[in-house]
Amino acid sequence: MKTALNIEKIFNQSNFFNGISVSYVADILKAGTIRILKTNDILFHQGDPATRIYLVLEGQLKLTKLHEAGKEAIIRYICPGELMATVTVLKKGEYLVTAEVVSKTKVIGWGRQTILDLMNRYPQIAINMLCIVLERIDDMQRRYLELSAEHAEQRIARSLLRIMQHAGQKLQDGIHVNFPITLKELAEYNGTTLYTVSRTLSAWRKKGWIKSRRNHITITDPHQLVLLVESE
């Protein structure tokens, strides 16, 4: 809680603070509390009462939604500068997803009343949050459309490209997904199965489009994936 925060950096990496003067940002951050989490920690569970909204400072989390039948879908990955658990601003809400830490993570959280107060004090916060949420709707609508219209291979390509843009790290041999990810997770991210993903990646590996080892994926030829996605 007494961790020294690099306010400037946080301000720059997050569109949550767009149009808000840096001097206010310190104020806003002071109202929140810091939490450090390690891999596989659960920040909150789907169904828990939604008490806090979080901004990710470091690391990554995945948001998953559980289906009665036991299946699980990955709704999105959350990277530094991104907001999560925005439902908190709704009256008496529950978390709609589960947030699980993918690699060592630092977040800052605000309670419901705090965030409502902040929104009243700085209306720009409400507007920024609205914009963030609107972008997220767009993302979900797109993925919904893709899920209903595209075949497995295309969807797998899309998810790799999305993750790459979101959390890609440029190495000499390609763009590397900078957090551990399993085939099962990749499958849950695009509504296929672990087996289909394995077969598909095997094929791509043979073509030299990607490299992969346990928990790691590097895309060596992103362009091919783009072509695949855009074909028909």
Binding site for DNA (CB under 7 A): 151-153, 182-184, 191-196, 198-199, 201-202, 205, 212-215
> How does DSSP classify residue 111?
E
The item of a copy of itself, DNA, none sharing an interface with residue 214, based on CB under 5 to 8 Å by kind, is DNA
Least distance in Å: CB of 63 to a copy of itself? 9
E strands, the chain, in order: 33-37, 42-44, 52-66, 72-78, 83-84, 98-111, 168-171, 174-177, 210-213, 216-219
**Burial of 141 from C-beta contacts in 10 A (0-12 / 13-18 / 19+):** exposed
The item of a copy of itself, DNA, none sharing an interface with residue 201, based on CB under 5 to 8 Å by kind, is DNA
C-beta of 74 vs 83, nearer to DNA: 74
The item of a copy of itself, DNA, none sharing an interface with residue 163, based on CB under 5 to 8 Å by kind, is none
Phi first, then psi, for residue 173 (nearest 5°) are -95, 10
Q: Between residue 40 and residue 79, which ones bind a copy of itself under the rule CB under 8 A? A: 65, 67-69, 71, 73, 75
Rounded Cα–Cα distance for residues 94 and 90 (Å): 9
Q: Between residue 203 and residue 232, which ones bind a copy of itself under the rule CB under 8 A? A: 230, 232
Instruction: Name residues whose C-beta falls within 8 Å of residue 80's C-beta, 6 or more positions apart in sequence.
Output: 13, 56, 57, 58, 59, 60
Site string for a copy of itself, 138-177 (x = CB under 8 A): x-xxxxxxxxxxx---------------------------
Q: Which two tokens stand for residue 77?
A: 């990955």
Q: Measuring CA to CA, which residue among 95, 72, 73 is closest to residue 85?
A: 95
Phi first, then psi, for residue 48 (nearest 5°) are -65, 150
C-beta of 105 vs 154, nearer to DNA: 154
The item of a copy of itself, DNA, none sharing an interface with residue 202, based on CB under 5 to 8 Å by kind, is DNA
By CB under 8 A, name the one of 61, 83, 97, 161 that touches a copy of itself.
97
26 in contact with a copy of itself (CB under 8 A)? no
Q: Is 47 left (phi over 0), alpha (psi -120 to 50) or beta?
A: left
Q: Which residues bind a copy of itself (CB under 8 A)?
A: 65, 67-69, 71, 73, 75, 86-87, 89-91, 96-97, 116, 119-120, 123, 126-127, 129-131, 133-138, 140-150, 191, 230, 232
